[in-house]
């Protein structure tokens, strides 16, 4: 990990954290994870009961320390009474931090490449080693059965009840401890391992019916990586499904009823050329390998937004005046 944004923390001041959070917002916009909507947050390194995220503004335009707000994990209220207006869906972040002490960064996105898997019933699966963190199943959380009686039915996670329901989807009560927690508990603590699986989500990503997706991680760089490669995995799977269907099509099998005019009896459609996804072991070990390389793409992504005039990060670094 770079710059100690969690969990590797050799020396991190709020100046560095703010600079990294702003950079992450710019990277997520540059790579099409967020547009005018969507957000990233990070838990405070000095107080686990609070977290930071930007004010209610487009992620690409975040650039000053004054644009960042500190919130209480308990109820997503601003620590400072005169804080600017924040995102309505900050409860997504607060409830994940509340449920999972090992999580230090959260990204919420409405990426159009991922949305088909939020509405089609087709499961999002890892098609490549870069997305091993998806495991062999990515849950879809449907808000429609969780609205409080007085809540608007607008698909927005606007309160603690809805946020808590979403956070529970990262570790279903019936789960036996899925891939994500297994990987984390097996890793050295220096790169994000945890000896307390109960503090870890079972899933790195949860899709949201008709809405988008949310990903939870141990640090800013890792959260950005997971968000970007969730998009890339969705793109690869969609292209693979399209290619497969165009090439193979479907075959109808059954018995021909000669007396009935040649109709096919007991017909069934057989698909050919099924996609080959990563196995549980492949996903597990691919993510274990890739996690140690997250600093490499992070350095590239930082440079991409640094040289782009749209993005202005005016937060001072730890060693700057």
Cβ neighbours of residue 239 closer than 8 Å, sequence gap 6 or more:
none
Identify whether 89 is a catalytic site residue: yes
| Beta-bridge partners for 54 | 68
Which residues have CB under 8 Å from 198's CB, separation 6+?
none
The token duo for 183 is 């990987």
C-alpha closest to that of 141 among 86, 205, 74: 205
3-state secondary structure of 214: strand
Tell me which of 15, 89, 196, 232 is the catalytic residue.
89
Q: Enumerate the H helices of 71-127 as residue ranges.
A: 90-99, 116-119
The rounded distance, in Å, linking the Cα atoms of 21 and 28 is: 11
- How far apart are alpha carbons 101 and 99 in whole angstroms? 7
Structure token pair of residue 147: 């609205």
DSSP-derived pairing of the beta strands 205-208 and 50-54: unpaired
Q: Among 206, 172, 184, which Cα is nearest to 287's?
A: 184
3-state secondary structure of 30: helix
Task: Report whether 155 contacts 201 (CB < 8 A).
Answer: no
Q: Is 303 helix (H, G, I), strand (E, B) or coil?
A: helix
60-97: buried (b, 16+ CB within 10 Å) or exposed (e) per residue?
bbbbeeebbbebbbeebebeeeeeeebbebbbbbbbbb
Query: Hey, which residues are catalytic here?
Result: 89
């Amino acid at each position: 990990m770079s710059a100690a944004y969690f969990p590797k923390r050799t020396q991190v001041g709020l100046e560095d954290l703010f600079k990294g959070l702003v950079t992450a917002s710019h990277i997520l916009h540059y790579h099409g994870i967020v547009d005018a909507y969507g957000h990233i947050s990070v838990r405070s390194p000095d107080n686990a009961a609070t977290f930071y995220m930007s004010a209610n503004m487009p992620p690409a335009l975040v650039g000053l320390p004054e644009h960042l707000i500190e919130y209480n994990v308990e109820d997503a209220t601003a620590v400072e009474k005169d804080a600017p207006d924040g995102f309505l869906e900050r409860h997504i972040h607060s409830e994940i931090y509340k449920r999972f002490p090992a999580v230090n960064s959260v990204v919420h996105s409405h990426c159009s490449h991922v949305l088909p898997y939020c509405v089609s019933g087709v499961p999002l699966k890892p098609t490549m080693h870069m997305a091993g963190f998806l495991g062999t199943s990515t849950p879809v959380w449907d808000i429609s059965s969780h609205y409080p009686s007085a809540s608007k039915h607008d698909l927005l996670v606007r309160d603690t009840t809805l946020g808590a329901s979403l956070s529970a989807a990262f570790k279903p009560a019936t789960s036996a401890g899925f891939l994500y927690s297994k990987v984390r508990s097996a890793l050295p603590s220096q790169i994000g391992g945890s000896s307390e699986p109960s503090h870890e989500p079972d899933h790195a990503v949860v899709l949201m019916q008709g809405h988008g997706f949310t990903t939870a991680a141990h640090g800013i760089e890792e959260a950005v990586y997971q968000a970007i490669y969730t998009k890339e995995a969705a793109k690869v799977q969609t292209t693979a499904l399209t290619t497969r269907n165009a090439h193979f099509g479907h075959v109808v099998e059954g018995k021909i009823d000669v007396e009935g005019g040649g109709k096919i009896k007991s017909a069934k459609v057989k698909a050919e050329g099924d996609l080959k996804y990563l196995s549980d072991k492949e996903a597990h070990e691919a993510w274990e390998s890739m996690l140690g390389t997250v600093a490499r793409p992070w350095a590239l992504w930082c440079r991409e937004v640094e040289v782009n005039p749209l993005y202005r990060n005016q937060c001072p670094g730890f060693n700057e005046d």
